[in-house]
Amino acid sequence: MEPSTLDLLGTVTGTVVVTEPLNFWGGQRVKPRQQANAEPVFEPATGRVLCQMFPCGSEEVDEAIKSAHSAYLKWSKMAGMERARIMLEAARIIREKRDKIAKLEVINNGKSITEAVVDIDVAWQCIEYYAGMAATLAGQHVQLPGGAFAYTRREALGVCVGIGAFNYPFQVAAWKSAPALACGNAMVFKPSPMTPVTAVLLAEIYKEAGVPEGLFCVVQGGADTGSLLCHHPGVAKVSFTGSVPTGKKVMEMAAKSVKHVTLELGGKSPLLIFKDCELENAVKGALMANFLTQGQVCCNGTRVYVQREIMPQFLEEVVKRTKVIPVGDPLLDDTRMGALISKPQLDKVLAYVNQAKKEGARVLCGGDSFVPSDPKLKGGYFMSPCVLDNCRDDMTCVKEEIFGPVMSVLPFDTEEEVIKRANNSPFGLASGVFTRDISRAHRVAENLQAGTCFINNYNISPVEVPFGGYKMSGFGRENGQVTIEYYSQLKTVVVEMGDVDSLF
């Protein structure tokens, strides 16, 4: 019997099997055309197969894009207020189904339910926020000589493609689709092949809210399906979230037909903790900067620079708190850290810890695979959160994005020195500073080369503020007013009121 993926309340880890089709276009779930190349999708907390992911081939991608295009023709002609009303309804439905969506997200992603609930809240807030902006889209009127004038129209781009990473499956689908839809576009979304099960819920919710059929489509697949989308002539824009190497490929593919591109890529963000900080907040900030979603967060502040005078107190406190983070069944309310996304990801992160040891870092806590006492979690991809001391800027753990719960702590002496060291990275997604000196805080924020700087907190990303990278962390933004510009184009209309003054 096919369980309904939204009939989950009361379920526990290790019990859900998803058999319903995970593609969505033409206003409904679509069965995969072929069973070839199926990939098992795992429940990270148990290592059990949750479902099969059947990648879409070129005919399916084509169908989805055609379906999105016909919806775009209707949607883009509607008034912003009309679009807003439907988007607000979608936000309301997400709010209503929040706990069930969060539960499925946990089962597929492995993060704690406490975090997943916040993710789903951020998703509906994002849709609500852009619903509010849909009716504000407007052009300018420009008076010209002789009674002539011009006006500008802010128009949709067409069919936009969203490609997501595994760490925030539902939220990233909302972050991309909300501004896209507000501007009058349609979207074809491809989730990560490791987390295919929740994007289709968003598609159903948009449909229930009243969008034209095909406006938000979901195609499943990995790199091959992704490149079909990036090469497709019917696509106007690709918004990509993922790693730097894949981002480069996406940009290259999009360049062939000059598609618009937004790239939200990886990071190795610095967090600067000055001796005049409020230490307890700085410690809490460092934990928030490193351990959300088992450390698999692009904007994490994984290079923690601590001013030498307060290093002993900082380390003592941060290690004390890291050691007591409850790791285990992600569906339990008390759990604060669940399982990493996959066995290969867990092995990769553990290998980074070993490499760090070889290069001279000292493990102050964690860094080992972890087997919870509950027997059903024996096959899960858990590890104990890790703090590394004795780090230097030239170590692998300080230079490369680990994408796991590993914090590298480094001492510094002066502001000038630490800014230079913090900026010495090809990445530039986020950064943070803890200090009580307000001039220093703003000076540091000005001088750090990153798309975001958090002052006296970390990893707070309200939908009202832009999020995105500098340097190799990408370009374009998500969230905030400015993202409207990344999902729309400006037309200038020039109007003559007199006779044509021809030179010929």
Ligand X SMILES: NC(=O)C1=CN([C@@H]2O[C@H](COP(=O)(O)OP(=O)(O)OC[C@H]3O[C@@H](n4cnc5c(N)ncnc54)[C@H](O)[C@@H]3O)[C@@H](O)[C@H]2O)C=CC1
Ligand Y SMILES: C[N+](C)(C)CCCC(=O)O
**Residues near ligand X (CB under 6 A):** 163-167, 190, 192-193, 222-223, 226-227, 230, 241-243, 246, 249-250, 264-267, 298, 401, 403, 429
Q: Which amino acid is at 341?
A: I
Q: Which 3 state secondary structure label does DSSP give 411?
A: strand
Q: Single out the residue of 254, 299, 340, 398 in contact with ligand Y (rule: CB under 6 A).
A: 299
Beta bridge partners of 65: none
Provide the minimum distance between the beta carbon of 213 and ligand X in the complex, in angstroms, as a whole number: 24
Q: Pick what 389 binds: ligand Y, ligand X, none; C-beta below 5 to 8 Å, kind-dependent.
A: none
CB-nearest residue to ligand X = 226
Q: Which stretch binds ligand Y (CB under 6 A): 26-34, 42-50, 195-203, 292-300?
A: 292-300
Residue 245 in tokens: 């190497």
Q: What SS3 string covers 219-262?
A: CCCCHHHHHHHHHCCCCCEEEEECCHHHHHHHHHHHHHCCCEEE
Q: What SS3 string covers 341-372?
A: CCHHHHHHHHHHHHHHHHCCCEEEECCCECCC
String marking each residue 246-275 x if it binds ligand Y according to CB under 6 A: ------------------------------
Is residue 298 a contact point for ligand Y (CB under 6 A)? yes
Nearer of residues 168 and 382 to ligand Y, judged by Cβ? 168
CA distance 14 to 398: 36
Provide the minimum distance between the beta carbon of 125 and ligand Y in the complex, in angstroms, as a whole number: 12
Q: Which of the 8 DSSP states describes residue 483?
A: H
With contact defined as beta carbons under 8 Å apart, do 57 and 220 qualify?
Answer: no
Nearer of residues 75 and 403 to ligand Y, judged by Cβ? 403
Is residue 172 a contact point for ligand Y (CB under 6 A)? yes
Provide the residue count of the chain: 504
Nearer of residues 249 and 357 to ligand X, judged by Cβ? 249
Q: How far apart are the first and last CA of the chain?
A: 77
Q: Pick what 292 binds: ligand X, ligand Y, none; C-beta below 5 to 8 Å, kind-dependent.
A: ligand Y
Provide the minimum distance between the beta carbon of 310 and ligand X in the complex, in angstroms, as a whole number: 29
Is residue 102 a contact point for ligand Y (CB under 6 A)? no
With contact defined as beta carbons under 8 Å apart, do 361 and 390 qualify?
Answer: yes
Provide the minimum distance between the beta carbon of 431 and ligand Y in the complex, in angstroms, as a whole number: 14
Provide the minimum distance between the beta carbon of 165 and ligand X in the complex, in angstroms, as a whole number: 4
Q: Pick what 403 binds: ligand X, ligand Y, none; C-beta below 5 to 8 Å, kind-dependent.
A: ligand X
Provide the minimum distance between the beta carbon of 429 and ligand X in the complex, in angstroms, as a whole number: 6
Using alpha carbons, list the distances in angstroms from residue 48 to 176, 290, 381: 30, 27, 11
Q: Which of the 8 DSSP states describes residue 11?
A: -
Nearer of residues 183 and 253 to ligand X, judged by Cβ? 253
CA distance 218 to 160: 12
Provide the minimum distance between the beta carbon of 478 and ligand X in the complex, in angstroms, as a whole number: 7
In this structure, the strands spanning 303-307 and 270-273 are parallel
With contact defined as beta carbons under 8 Å apart, do 2 and 189 qualify?
Answer: no
Q: How many CB atoms lie within 10 A of CB 15?
A: 14
Query: Which residue in the list 63, 105, 128, 264 is annotated as catalytic?
Result: 264
Nearer of residues 236 and 292 to ligand Y, judged by Cβ? 292
Nearer of residues 72 and 470 to ligand X, judged by Cβ? 470
Nearer of residues 129 and 475 to ligand X, judged by Cβ? 475
Q: Which of the 8 DSSP states describes residue 487?
A: T
CA distance 287 to 411: 17
Nearer of residues 437 and 485 to ligand X, judged by Cβ? 485
Establish whether 264 is a catalytic residue: yes
- Region of residue 366 (phi > 0: left; psi between -120 and 50: alpha; otherwise: beta): left
Q: Single out the residue of 24, 25, 129, 168 in contact with ligand Y (rule: CB under 6 A).
A: 168
Provide the minimum distance between the beta carbon of 58 and ligand X in the complex, in angstroms, as a whole number: 14
Q: Pick what 461 binds: ligand Y, ligand X, none; C-beta below 5 to 8 Å, kind-dependent.
A: ligand Y
Q: Which 3 state secondary structure label does DSSP give 452?
A: strand
Size of the site for ligand Y (CB under 6 A): 9
CA distance 345 to 340: 7
Is residue 322 a contact point for ligand Y (CB under 6 A)? no
String marking each residue 437-466 x if it binds ligand Y according to CB under 6 A: ----------------------x-x-----
Q: Single out the residue of 71, 86, 133, 292 in contact with ligand Y (rule: CB under 6 A).
A: 292
Helical residues (DSSP H) of 461-502, grouped into ranges: 483-486
Provide the minimum distance between the beta carbon of 243 and ligand X in the complex, in angstroms, as a whole number: 3
CA distance 28 to 54: 17
CA distance 219 to 227: 12
Is residue 114 a contact point for ligand Y (CB under 6 A)? no
CB-nearest residue to ligand Y = 461
Nearer of residues 245 and 312 to ligand Y, judged by Cβ? 245
Residues at the contact surface with ligand Y, assessed by CB under 6 A: 167-168, 172, 292, 297-299, 459, 461
Active site residues: 264
